[in-house]
Chain A
Amino acid sequence: MSTDTATQPVGRYAYDEVDRTFLSQRVAQFREQVGRRVAGDLSEDEFKPLRLMNGLYLQLHAYMLRVAVPYGMMGADQMRELAHIARTYDRDYGHFTTRQNIQFNWIRLEDTPDILERLAGVNMHAIQTSGNCIRNVTCDEFAGAAADELLDPRIHAEILRQWSTLHPEFSFLPRKFKIAISGSPHDRVAARFHDIGLVAHPGPNGRPVFDVFVGGGLGRTPIIGVHLCHDLPEEDLLAYLEAVVRVYNAYGRRDNMYKARIKILVQALGVEQFREKVDAEFAQMNRADYRLEPAIVEGIRARFGIPDLDAPADAAQKLDSDRKADARFDRWVRTNTHAHRHEGFISAVVSIKPDGGIPGDVTADQMDLIADLADEFSFGEIRVTHMQNVVLGHVRKDRLRDLWLRLDGAGLGTPNIGLVGDIIACPGLDYCALANARSIPIAQKLSARFANPELQENIGTLRINISGCINACGHHHAGHIGILGVDKRGEEFFQLTLGGSAENDVAIGQIIGPALPEDETVDAIARLIDTYLVLRNEGEAFIDTYRRLGAASFKDAVYAPA
């Protein structure tokens, strides 16, 4: 088998025969299970864990299939297959989630084996996108491209994917388990809101070392992860994580679903005692079995395609002059790009948050266009972000305007990344069987109200996150403004939290007061933002004004309409 990185898919791991054989066996197995369910040989209670292990949920209107995008990386060929699935088996669209998955909302059980077979054809699957196992490992959307990155976390994300996939000891953990990894000092993965968050940087001998955070999470009990281990050597990464998950598996609560996440265990034991247990487990493990030798890591790295970053010497100059010539393009570059490690390249963020649109929803035609643009402009490589957007990682600066013109022409050029319009929203009551209230209509009304790009830029960095229930899939506690749907006698109400952040300044948003009725929520948030505009100091972001002044200054605006 070739290990020539020029022929490998750029930015992701090239499957080998073992991976492919396993996927096709798994599809055949599920096809047989579906057959037995339809024939009545399996009851719903028997079948449900089997379908969930293959990413198939029963939601409000139909089955929902959650497909993993490992560490957020996919290729144009894979995106085209997702478009095909959306068109053929769903209603022409899919929904990107904050955990770098895609969900299809209108799937039929009877079609699912065929869909999984098509996915397997492009090395994709839905395994471990549900259940009490280690879920899709998430990663920095600018991995391998960002100027501020210290090392590319995707190689170790892939190693963790291989380690955690069908790990027999960890198939029935007390609860789901989510890992995120970053190689940048700037936290873009919410490392401290994960069961395990890893932040990698180069160590003394040139090999990576990892800062390990554990026991973070949102949901019913939001907790910031604690720092468990400083500079864990690469060779011990798997052994140490295995020790952490073993301790959780052994001591995590199984009697109460709401107290079953590792965060509860870490809080109950205290970080010192938790660390002692992990260290004891780690000390008695046969570390040689787990040792991650540089040769293994380099073998994995060799299966990642590397983009040939070759740009004309005047690429940056050309971008400068393009920006001067076109104010709309200039604005989009300001808001929707990220600095690349190569001076002739830049990363472009495609906003999946059109004004008044549904955050994260992409039509089949848009998926095909993104795939074509990835082929033309970014080595066929596509990234899904934890903000429910899409990134083309390596775009030549002199070609950025061409890319933007094509995106803009297709309604994918909204200049709102990191601004009011870049709202994270879960599917909420419009789709989700667990929801209390609708998230999407609130997101749509807010984004329509603040559509004006000058206004958005004037307001500046503002993260609005919406969840339709306490499960917090929309990370509302981590939003500068968080919105949580609650149910009062079958009617929708919304509770606001202020001051959360998932980044380096990590914080849990605090509830500002009683929940608001649906039809008052958007107005209340608009008053909140107006108040900020009045109170802010020169150049001060919303979150900083809030931190300086506290909740009281904003409470009146929310509860005392003019």
Chain B
Amino acid sequence: MGARAWTAHPFTAVEAVTGPLPEGISSEVDVRNNRRDMTGASVITANRLLDGRIVWLAPQGWSEVISQARVFDNAAVEDAIKQAKVAADAGTVVGIYGVQLDPEATKITPLTVRERIRAFGPTVHPDFAPVETPHVH
């Protein structure tokens, strides 16, 4: 056995301790991302639990591409978010929230840079853009 500087404390079981959530991320989605105007349209998004990939609420289930997303009037989106959070497949995703769309755009395009990057991939890696041959599930 080699020398050790410190043997005084035993390994603690991580689950025995609870406390504030680390690292600046609250358990609720940052309000910045969930903001929207009274008028206009939105889509609903989340990250998939198993692989963390971004998904969009589609007419059936969650899709990997925003072009498949179901578009809601902003007046209806709060209710739709609530429903998505209690739907049968809600456990397969994390962090459900609404994303305001750009009314000027011809295809489904989020209004903010952040959500455009989520929808179309990191701007510094066009090769990592979500593929347009989606399977809805």
**B is a partner of A:** yes
Residues of A at under 8 Å CB distance from B? 1, 3, 14, 16-18, 22, 25, 29, 33, 37-38, 40, 44-45, 48-50, 52-53, 57-63, 91, 106-110, 130-133, 158-159, 162-163, 166-168, 171-172, 176, 238, 254, 257, 289, 292, 295-300, 302-303, 358, 429-431, 433-435, 437-438, 440-441, 444, 471, 487, 490-492
3 closest A-B pairs by beta carbon, nearest first, are A299-B3, A490-B112, A131-B22
One of B17, B21, B53, B54 near A48 (C-beta < 8 A): B21
Tell me if B23 and A52 are in contact (CB < 8 A): yes
CB within 8 Å of A: which B1-37 residues: 1-6, 8-9, 11-15, 17-25, 27, 30, 32
Tell me if B5 and A292 are in contact (CB < 8 A): yes
Tell me if A63 and B52 are in contact (CB < 8 A): yes
The digit string for B121-132, where 1 denotes a CB below 8 A from any CB of A, is 111110010000
Q: Output the nearest chain B residue to A63 by Cβ-Cβ distance.
A: B52
Tell me if B113 and A437 are in contact (CB < 8 A): yes
A contact residues around B118 at 8 Å (CB): 60-61
**Bound-state Cα–Cα, A50 to B27, Å:** 13
B contact residues around A133 at 8 Å (CB): 22
Tell me if B117 and A130 are in contact (CB < 8 A): no
Q: Output the nearest chain B residue to A260 by Cβ-Cβ distance.
A: B20
User: For the complex, is B49 an interface residue (Cβ under 8 Å from A)?
Assistant: yes
Chain B nearest CB, measured from A106 CB (Å)? 8
A contact residues around B113 at 8 Å (CB): 429, 437-438, 490-492
**Bound-state Cα–Cα, A167 to B117, Å:** 39
**Bound-state Cα–Cα, A254 to B32, Å:** 23
Q: Output the nearest chain B residue to A91 by Cβ-Cβ distance.
A: B128
Chain A nearest CB, measured from B55 CB (Å)? 11
Tell me if B15 and A50 are in contact (CB < 8 A): yes
User: For the complex, is B137 an interface residue (Cβ under 8 Å from A)?
Assistant: no
Q: Output the nearest chain A residue to B128 by Cβ-Cβ distance.
A: A91
A62 with B8: in contact, given A1-B2, A434-B25 (CB under 8 Å)? no
User: For the complex, is B67 an interface residue (Cβ under 8 Å from A)?
Assistant: no
B contact residues around A107 at 8 Å (CB): 52
**Bound-state Cα–Cα, A197 to B99, Å:** 43
Sample 25 A-B pairs with CB under 8 A, ordered by A number: A17-B1, A38-B50, A45-B27, A49-B19, A52-B21, A52-B23, A53-B14, A53-B22, A60-B117, A60-B122, A61-B118, A91-B128, A106-B128, A108-B51, A110-B51, A132-B19, A132-B20, A133-B22, A158-B5, A296-B5, A300-B4, A302-B3, A435-B114, A444-B124, A490-B112
Chain B contact-residue range equals 35 or more
**Bound-state Cα–Cα, A429 to B9, Å:** 40
**Bound-state Cα–Cα, A281 to B130, Å:** 55
Tell me if B2 and A44 are in contact (CB < 8 A): no
Residues of B at under 8 Å CB distance from A? 1-6, 8-9, 11-15, 17-25, 27, 30, 32, 47, 49-54, 91, 94-95, 111-114, 117-118, 121-125, 128
Tell me if A358 and B9 are in contact (CB < 8 A): no
One of B14, B24, B27, B50 near A257 (C-beta < 8 A): B24
Chain A nearest CB, measured from B78 CB (Å)? 20
A contact residues around B47 at 8 Å (CB): 58, 62
Chain B nearest CB, measured from A173 CB (Å)? 9
Given contacts A438-B113, A490-B111, list 18 more A-B pairs with CB under 8 A. A1-B1, A16-B2, A44-B49, A49-B19, A58-B52, A60-B118, A91-B128, A108-B50, A110-B50, A132-B20, A163-B6, A166-B12, A257-B24, A358-B124, A430-B117, A430-B125, A438-B124, A490-B112
Tell me if A167 and B9 are in contact (CB < 8 A): yes
Tell me if A130 and B23 are in contact (CB < 8 A): yes
A168 with B12: in contact, given A58-B47, A131-B23, A431-B122 (CB under 8 Å)? yes
B contact residues around A48 at 8 Å (CB): 21, 27
A49 with B6: in contact, given A61-B52, A61-B121, A109-B50 (CB under 8 Å)? no
Q: Output the nearest chain A residue to B17 by Cβ-Cβ distance.
A: A171
A57 with B24: in contact, given A292-B5, A299-B3 (CB under 8 Å)? no
Chain B nearest CB, measured from A356 CB (Å)? 11
Chain B nearest CB, measured from A498 CB (Å)? 26
Tell me if A166 and B3 are in contact (CB < 8 A): no
One of B3, B23, B95, B111 near A57 (C-beta < 8 A): B23
A contact residues around B23 at 8 Å (CB): 52, 57, 130-132, 176
Tell me if B49 and A62 are in contact (CB < 8 A): no
Tell me if B8 and A172 are in contact (CB < 8 A): no
A contact residues around B53 at 8 Å (CB): 61-62
Tell me if A109 and B52 are in contact (CB < 8 A): yes
**Bound-state Cα–Cα, A17 to B133, Å:** 49
Chain B nearest CB, measured from A139 CB (Å)? 16
